[in-house]
Chain A
């Protein structure tokens, strides 16, 4: 009998050491100490013993039961501790990473630039105008002093839907729409998408964005235009930005100019970004052509105006140091996340 008890002790201790959690521990408790447990069975079998043996075995069983109970208690405490630290650990992660699988969106670089440009011009008292992307040829060309035979219609290959309806190739038609419906003073900008049948490469895309600006009032001059653009350039590209006008030609402005800004990377000394020139071409602009004013029922003898238009992608690329326009349209999240 003593042998049997010793074996129970040995087995129970061994099994307990292999026990992994509270549930298994409970099962062991039942197995050895429960009503039908092995140790209980031994106690029950004591009736067959003589009176000399009975107290000895009884004491032995009780001692072992105490030992086992203590072991089980210890083990249970250990599991509780483990459980707690595990819970603490997992609950800790929950707190610091609240939404592991939900990506928060950010603004597209094009949207960012448009927002910034809008804010700058709103601050200068401009209103924001809007026009259709599917436009009538008369607004995209004719009213802008570009009649059907005009060579400038050759310069930009336009997506025609019918002979008279097209995808606007510039935001300039909004100029004509605004002038037709508003009386001077007019002070608007119009951001939006434009379309040209260019093949896709690192600097061309069939769809891109422009911001058009138009001011019409009495005594508006070309130096007003330059001052306006200079203020815009300083706010958008940095306080030290300078601007220069190069004479150019557009059908709907006269005089016309292309405006360059001093390179905001090297400050005009010449670098890779400005191709060593110190200047970066920013936009086209000019004084609204008298024919355009006339076409929109504004008397060119009484009013004058200036207009400018620039490509948003060009500014985004220069400002964010993006060397390939395609990146702006592929919408790869790894790219967009950087802005």
Chain B
């Protein structure tokens, strides 16, 4: 699980360096695999403006340019042919270093002095897909508006700095497969207050409906589907997501597709709940059924591969066909398209073992299936869908329709564990008072009432006194 520092900061103040944060989190149980500090490897590259382009006297393929970098005019020889006078370009000055390890030095090209280099997208280690207007083999041409930033560091101007921590999350902590969950761990680890930016979502009351816009939902296999919530948004405009959303997705290694699909991925990353979005018109009979697949039932998934299922696999189906393999991947037949006007969001919780088996059978392990297989919280599913709808309105991707369809056959069990401080002390070999223990537990949002610890909805892994002892020891440390 990748998390950017910037996104984590929405959940907790961070007053240590990213490397220190990584070390501390590892010691409280969120094991850090790698820390990537993007943008740190670009040094002394600034914004410049091309003032003049002349032919090189001794080389047909080279030109001699004059470039304004605010405090001086540099002469730079280049072989690029996509530049013109007035272009704003990234200039690696004498002494600059680039992500590929290249150091830039003043030198002569065919007898003419060149005091730096103009950079391409690749030379700055940027993805062409993030800068679709740029070309691969040519100088990166910056926005004209950046003329005001001549001479300034390109890393600052293009906001290229990004610290990304990659975590190895143990299977008992699916809540930490989310920025929110990791944010809670950051707050505990640094002894800060958890900011709880989703408080409004927690307090939201959404009315239950049998039917929205003609849509109905039934669960035929309640042993494999514990909860299925649908909400509908209309007047949808499918377009690109805003930069801040694309940036966060990218930091976590997720490609931006369009605003609606991006919202489902964004919510999954933020809250750990995989989501799905359908075009309402692709649901025949406007009736969603969660059922076992039929023997040899076929579905073509979003990756355009036909998959064959059997009765052990769970599908989301309309009256005629399967539209998704539950918890694994959506079907191509219900994909969000440019023309989509009304979107159905799905937030559901499936049996972990079943999703694991299905993913294995169809050889398709996805971000979604790897979360479901660890067992997700049905309570969190509601928060996630409400957050998705909130985001739709926030980025003006469509209008929310009131109400939710919420089929919830198996209420999430909230685990309660009797605290026995003597047993905990004797198991750990420490000597804490009950009050000290309760203080640690409450920081972890584990409420203690009359010596009974109540596991929060997102900690379904807490079942035994030994689990409580583990929570204490990972914070107290021996």
Contact = CB atoms under 8 A, between A and B. Distances in A.
Contacts of B426: 219, 221, 304
A304 B423 CA distance: 10
Contact of A148 (B172, B353, B429): B353
A92 to B, nearest CB: 62
A245 interface: yes
Interface stretch (B2-10, B22-30, B48-56, B118-126): B22-30
A329 to B, nearest CB: 27
Nearest to A148: B353
Given A221-B427, A223-B430, A254 B470 contact: yes
Nearest to B28: A247
A69 B381 CA distance: 120
Given A254-B467, A287-B466, A223 B429 contact: yes
Interface in A124-139: none
Contacts of B473: 222, 247, 255
A226 B478 contact: yes
A290 B374 CA distance: 21
Contacts of A245: 477-478
Contacts of A155: 171
A222 B429 contact: yes
Interface in A222-248: 222-224, 226, 245-248
A289 B373 CA distance: 22
Contact of B353 (A149, A221, A256): A149
A152 interface: yes
Nearest to A254: B466
Given A287-B466, A287-B469, 4 more contacts: A221-B427, A222-B429, A247-B27, A249-B173
Contacts of B467: 254
Contacts of B466: 254-255, 287, 289-290
The SS class assigned to the A binding surface is mixed
A248 B464 CA distance: 17
A143 B29 CA distance: 25
A151 B351 CA distance: 12
B428 A223 contact: yes
A223 B31 contact: no
Contacts of B427: 221-222, 287, 304
B110 interface: no
Interface of B: 26-29, 31, 170-173, 352-353, 356, 373-374, 426-430, 464-467, 469-470, 473-474, 477-478
Contact of B373 (A154, A219, A226): A154
Contacts of B170: 248-249
A223 B431 CA distance: 11
Contacts of B353: 148-149
Chain A contact patch, size range: 20 to 34
Nearest to B477: A245
B478 A247 contact: no
A152 B427 CA distance: 24
B465 to A, nearest CB: 8
A151 B429 contact: no
Contacts of A148: 353
B37 to A, nearest CB: 15
B373 A246 contact: no
Given A221-B428, A221-B429, A255-B469, A246 B27 contact: yes
B27 A151 contact: no
Contacts of B373: 151, 154
Contact of B352 (A151, A223, A254): A151
Contacts of B173: 249
Nearest to B354: A149
Given A219-B426, A248-B170, A249-B172, A255 B356 contact: no
26 contacts: A149-B356, A154-B171, A221-B427, A221-B429, A222-B429, A222-B473, A223-B428, A223-B478, A224-B429, A226-B429, A247-B28, A247-B29, A247-B470, A247-B473, A248-B31, A248-B170, A249-B170, A249-B172, A254-B464, A254-B467, A254-B470, A255-B428, A289-B464, A290-B466, A304-B426, A304-B427
Contacts of A247: 27-29, 470, 473-474
B169 to A, nearest CB: 9
Contacts of B29: 246-248
A124 B107 CA distance: 69
A247 B188 CA distance: 14
A338 to B, nearest CB: 33
A222 B476 CA distance: 13
Nearest to B174: A151
Contacts of B26: 246
A246 B469 contact: no
A110 B374 CA distance: 36
A226 B465 CA distance: 20
A154 B469 contact: no
Contacts of A224: 429
Best-buried of A148, A226, A254, A287 by chain B (most CB within 10 Å):
A254
Interface in A148-169: 148-149, 151-152, 154-155
Contacts of A254: 464, 466-467, 469-470
Interface string A267-300: 0000000000000000000010111000000000
Contacts of B477: 245
Contacts of A223: 428-430, 478
Given A248-B29, A255-B469, A151 B464 contact: no
A249 B429 contact: no
Contacts of A249: 170-173
Closest 9 CB pairs of A and B: A223-B429, A149-B353, A221-B429, A247-B29, A255-B470, A249-B170, A247-B474, A254-B466, A151-B171
A246 B29 CA distance: 6
A152 B352 CA distance: 12
B31 A222 contact: no
A137 B398 CA distance: 52
A256 B31 CA distance: 13
Nearest to B365: A154
Interface string A23-59: 0000000000000000000000000000000000000
Nearest to B469: A255
B165 to A, nearest CB: 16
Contacts of B352: 149, 151
A269 B166 CA distance: 24
A224 B469 CA distance: 15
B428 A222 contact: yes
A255 B427 CA distance: 9
A248 B393 CA distance: 40
A255 B430 CA distance: 14
A124 to B, nearest CB: 17
A245 B467 CA distance: 17
B455 to A, nearest CB: 14
B244 to A, nearest CB: 33
A254 B463 CA distance: 11
Contacts of A226: 429, 478
Contact of B470 (A149, A246, A256): A256
Interface centre among A149, A248, A255, A291 (most CB of B within 10 A): A255
Contacts of A255: 428, 466, 469-470, 473-474
A152 B470 contact: no
